[in-house]
Chains A and B, each alone.
Chain A
Amino acid sequence: MPRTHLGTRIRSLRRSMGLSQKNLATTCGISPPYLNLIEHNRRGISGRTLIALAGALKVDPADLSEGMETALVDRVKKAALSAENLRVETDQTEEFTARFPGYARLIARLQDKADAQEHDFAALTDQMQNDPYFSEAIHMMLSSITTIRSTAEILSDPRGMDAGQSRKFTDNMRSEALRLSQTATDVLAHYEPSSGAATSTDISAFEALLEQHDHFLSDLEQSSVNVLQAIDAQLQMQPLSETDRAQMHASLQSYAQMAQSLPINLFLPAAKAAGFNPLRLAAEFQTNLEAIFFRLAHLPPAPDQPRFALLQVDGAGAVMYRKQLPSFALPRFGGACPLWPIYRSLAHPLRPLAAMLDMPFGERVFALSSAYPTEQASIPMPAPSESVMLATPDYALLDPALTATAPSLAVGLQCTICPRAECSARRSDYLLQS
């Protein structure tokens, strides 16, 4: 359970009730300095203290511990740090997020959009610099412009020329002007989007659809329905471009395939019996670990089962698919912390790696990753790999055999929001560093 920002909530609730730290501490049987540490997120809270504090603050203990979204705080902090000249009160981000969660979500969403647009811009710049069509088109246009400019200067020269030469240069200029307009028209046509339909740039359309449905598409889970019809029905509800529609169709088909090969009515009871241990489930269903990872990340939400995040990357670390949790953010672009097992797995395909991830602000997440080759190896080149990681903060609900021997790893999310100063994997500065 994420507790990093629990203290902020306690402080906010105490203040709203007009209680002093001393009053609340005495009521709960703890010392005021200890409460001060808790309120500043420097101490965790045992079950008894949590219950006492919740009682004194007249809230349910579960509400108290679950209200905050640590990932949301990180996203708001990132937005604040990107506005360098505004002197945003970054030391009060947690309090702001706790007091104004709606505004915090709005800021985080706008920041996500800005990130996505920045990424698109970088991608377009990269494309323009490396696109042979664009390079050739620019060369052709510059050649035409050179002829037109040079010829125009010749024709306007007061020294003059004979009529035949003048007519020849005028014809040359007309030909080049036509070629230039044709090239410009071709370039525009080449880069024109195939459809005017709206596209979502902040998150992929499939990701948005899954978020809307709590990552469980019940229409595609029913073995009796015609899967293709269900997919078409899903697609008709989406205002998508042609490219996005094709990608969405492929993603929905993958989901349907997963639902057919690991039917939820068989899988869920088996998962509960196996303590949601992917290794046991892979053996039981005689399938690969990745399939089990995806299935576990797409279960109908229920309070008595662990919540799973999922990240899938290619061999270059580019994100192919992600499912985030409120308390465990995942990057969309670029790499996350290189110490995460998902990247280490790329060097050890088909060998599951388990680790307990100690995040910088106290959260703990259990992660299991596995890489797999995407094509046949050939001498002397090994096959390229992809890697997938399943992660959950609810590791207490997992089969203890899975977590017992997992080593602890001190990791972060991304360097810019990670305060671990002495990290050997650091590749950019921590932005909050004063």
Chain B
Amino acid sequence: MSKTIAVIEDEPFIIEALQFLLEREGFVVMTHSDGAGAVEFIKSVNPDMVILDNMLPTISGMQILETVRASNTIATLPILMLTAKGQKKDRSAAEQAGASLFMTKPFANADLVANVRRMVGL
């Protein structure tokens, strides 16, 4: 059965690239492009993992991460933070908030795919 990846990202061309890459690998990709409603989206999709941008409209990726980790139902969901804010302090803050993995933009497609496969146990 195909693994489902939830992508929360506000840049449409990055969404298209991620969707193409992951679907080509056989994943089901569900996307959402706003911080608002992101937690509800994750709950409704019930994915195997989440790729989460940090700088989103309305609510930041960090806030979404904290909300997920504090929830009863999706607290252990693997989350890959994918962000242009790649300074040490950003990485440290994401890790403290419970990110499973931290990747900075721009990324190599092969690295992203390899990390996703590993995080969903493939």
What residues make up the interface of A, taking CB atoms closer than 8 Å to B?
138-139, 142-143, 145-151, 153-154, 159, 161, 165, 168-169, 172, 175-176
Contact = CB atoms under 8 A, between A and B. Distances in A.
B106 A154 contact: no
Interface in B40-88: 55, 84-85
Contacts of A172: 13, 16-17
Given A149-B108, A150-B107, 15 more contacts: A138-B84, A139-B84, A143-B84, A146-B84, A147-B11, A147-B13, A147-B17, A150-B109, A154-B20, A154-B21, A154-B109, A165-B20, A168-B16, A169-B16, A169-B17
Contacts of A150: 14, 17-18, 21, 106-107, 109
B-side interface size class: 10 to 19
A165 B16 CA distance: 10
A238 B58 CA distance: 50
A145 B107 CA distance: 10
Contact of A146 (B14, B21, B110): B14
B85 A139 contact: yes
B118 interface: no
Contacts, number: 55
Dominant SS among interface residues on chain B: helix
Contacts of B21: 150, 154
B13 A149 contact: no
Contact of A149 (B16, B18, B84, B106): B106
B14 A147 contact: yes
A175 B106 CA distance: 17
B11 A143 contact: yes
A185 B110 CA distance: 31
A143 B14 contact: yes
Contacts of B14: 143, 146-147, 150
A159 B14 CA distance: 20
Contacts of A138: 84
Nearest to A175: B13
A150 B17 CA distance: 7
A118 B71 CA distance: 49
Which of A143, A145, A153, A172: most chain B Cβ within 10 A? A143
Contact of B106 (A145, A168, A169): A145
Interface string B1-39: 000000000010110111011001000000000000000
B105 A143 contact: yes
Contacts of A146: 11, 14, 84, 105-107
A187 to B, nearest CB: 15
Contacts of A176: 13
Contact of A139 (B13, B55, B108, B110): B55
23 contacts: A139-B84, A139-B85, A142-B84, A142-B105, A142-B106, A143-B11, A143-B84, A145-B105, A146-B11, A146-B106, A146-B107, A147-B14, A149-B107, A150-B18, A150-B21, A150-B106, A150-B107, A150-B109, A168-B16, A169-B16, A172-B13, A172-B16, A172-B17
Contacts of A143: 11, 14, 84, 105
A157 B47 CA distance: 27
Which of A138, A145, A149, A176: most chain B Cβ within 10 A? A149
Which of B11, B17, B84, B108: most chain A Cβ within 10 A? B17
B30 to A, nearest CB: 19
Contacts of A161: 20
B60 to A, nearest CB: 12
Contacts of B108: 149, 153
Please name the 5 residue pairs, one residue from A and one from B, whose CB atoms are nearest each other, closest first: A142-B84, A146-B105, A146-B106, A147-B13, A150-B17
A154 B19 CA distance: 11
A154 to B, nearest CB: 6
A142 B86 CA distance: 10
Contacts of A153: 108-110
A169 B21 CA distance: 12
Nearest to A136: B55
Which of A147, A175, A176: most chain B Cβ within 10 A? A147
Contacts of A151: 13, 17
B17 A154 contact: yes
Which of B55, B85, B105, B108: most chain A Cβ within 10 A? B105
Contacts of A169: 16-17, 20
A218 B14 CA distance: 67
Nearest to B84: A142
Nearest to B109: A153
